[in-house]
Amino acid sequence: MSVRARNNVKVLGQGDRVMLFAHGYGCDQNMWRFITPAFEKDHRIVLFDHVGAGRSDLTAYNRTRYNSLKGYADDVLDICRELELKQVIFVGHSVSAMIGVLAAVAEPERFSKLVLIGPSPCYINDGDYVGGFSRGDIDGLLDSLDSNYLGWSSAMAPVIMGNPDRPELGEELTNSFCRTDPEIARHFAHVTFLSDNRADLPKVKTPSLVLQCSQDVIAPEAVGRYVHRNIAGSHLVVMRATGHCPNLSAPEETIAAMKLFL
């Protein structure tokens, strides 16, 4: 099976600099459609779907490989090798921010910059660390997801999206969740919400931008500030945008912050 088919890799745009976009949980590459046009003129844009999402090859899913975020980071590196990508500007949303961190730590020579949108290295509160959730909160969330994935998606997607005055955004995220293979989505949720990548942040040597939304229930501001403090030399932008998906809810602000950093 080719890497391109496995991850439904698409390449567009022009220019010497490469931007690789990685979507978040329950989403696919379509979630970048408001962002990529702003960069196509001067960049080669690489889009893909994580295995289990979008139009990826579901037969490639292996629970052992994807039992940690490392498996997804290995996929990112596979794509970079297949397309012979170097000096990549990696743009990762939500859980893919940490996937990008792991890839950049493993092969730092591949990456010139990291753009981390709504990153969280650990979702569970731990001593002085504020992740936004107690272990009981996460266990309850995962139990609900395991017992009724479609119901969980309908209830949680609008909460994750925020922007209740724009219900069409929550509906889009709900529909995206519901298109994802339920078994894979359940496993990916456990891997995502139980991961702890705090120790990986100080290993990052790639110039990084942390884009933090206001009123984000998944990755609150304290988490974004933690990521910023623990990646040496990183830049932090606290956006006016609310919710967890500024690539959909506030593309203009997201693009402006990215362009200023790049």
Confidence band (pLDDT; 50, 70, 90) for 184?
very high
Task: Name the 3-class secondary structure at 116.
Answer: strand
pLDDT at 48: 98
User: 260 versus 15: which is more confidently predicted?
Assistant: 260
Q: What are the tens digits of pLDDT across the range 19-43?
A: 999 999 999 999 999 999 999 999 9
Q: Residue 235 pLDDT more than 80? A: yes
Determine how β-strand 111-117 pairs with β-strand 17-22.
unpaired
Query: Considering the chain, what is the average pLDDT of its residues?
Result: 96
Please indicate, yes or no, if residue 256 is contained in any of the structural domains: yes
Q: Residue range 227-241: average pLDDT?
A: 98
Please indicate, yes or no, if residue 152 is contained in any of the structural domains: no
Q: What are the tens digits of pLDDT across the range 108-132?
A: 999 999 999 999 999 999 999 999 9
Catalytic residues: 94, 216, 244
Among 121-130, 169-178, 188-197, the least confident range:
169-178
* Residues 91, 53: Cα–Cα separation, whole Å: 18
**Burial (CB count within 10 angstroms: exposed 0-12, middle 13-18, buried 19+), residue 34:** middle
CB within 8 A of 40, min separation 6: which ones? Answer: 12, 13, 14
Please indicate, yes or no, if residue 157 is contained in any of the structural domains: no
CB within 8 A of 142, min separation 6: which ones? Answer: 189, 190, 193
Q: Residue 103 pLDDT more than 90? A: yes
Residue 19 pairs in a beta bridge with 45, 89
**CA-to-CA dists, residue 205 to 4, 93, 251, angstroms:** 28, 19, 27
Q: Residue range 89-111: average pLDDT?
A: 98
Please indicate, yes or no, if residue 88 is contained in any of the structural domains: yes
* Residues 199, 121: Cα–Cα separation, whole Å: 9
Please indicate, yes or no, if residue 60 is contained in any of the structural domains: yes
Tokens of 209: 């931008």
Domain coverage including residue 113: 3-122+197-261
Tokens of 86: 């170097």
CB within 8 A of 127, min separation 6: which ones? Answer: none
Please indicate, yes or no, if residue 129 is contained in any of the structural domains: no
CB within 8 A of 106, min separation 6: which ones? Answer: 73, 77
Tokens of 186: 């359940």
Q: Residue range 61-89: average pLDDT?
A: 97
* Residues 159, 17: Cα–Cα separation, whole Å: 36
Please indicate, yes or no, if residue 221 is contained in any of the structural domains: yes
* Residues 230, 228: Cα–Cα separation, whole Å: 6
Tokens of 200: 């990986």
Please indicate, yes or no, if residue 166 is contained in any of the structural domains: no
Query: Tell me, what CATH number does 111's domain have?
Result: 3.40.50.1820
Q: What are the tens digits of pLDDT across the range 211-227?
A: 999 999 999 999 999 99
Domains held by the chain: number: 1
Burial state string for 74-97 with b = 16 or more CB within 10 A and e = fewer than 16: bbbbbbbeebebeebbbbbbbbbb
Rounded to two decimals, what is the model's pTM? 0.96
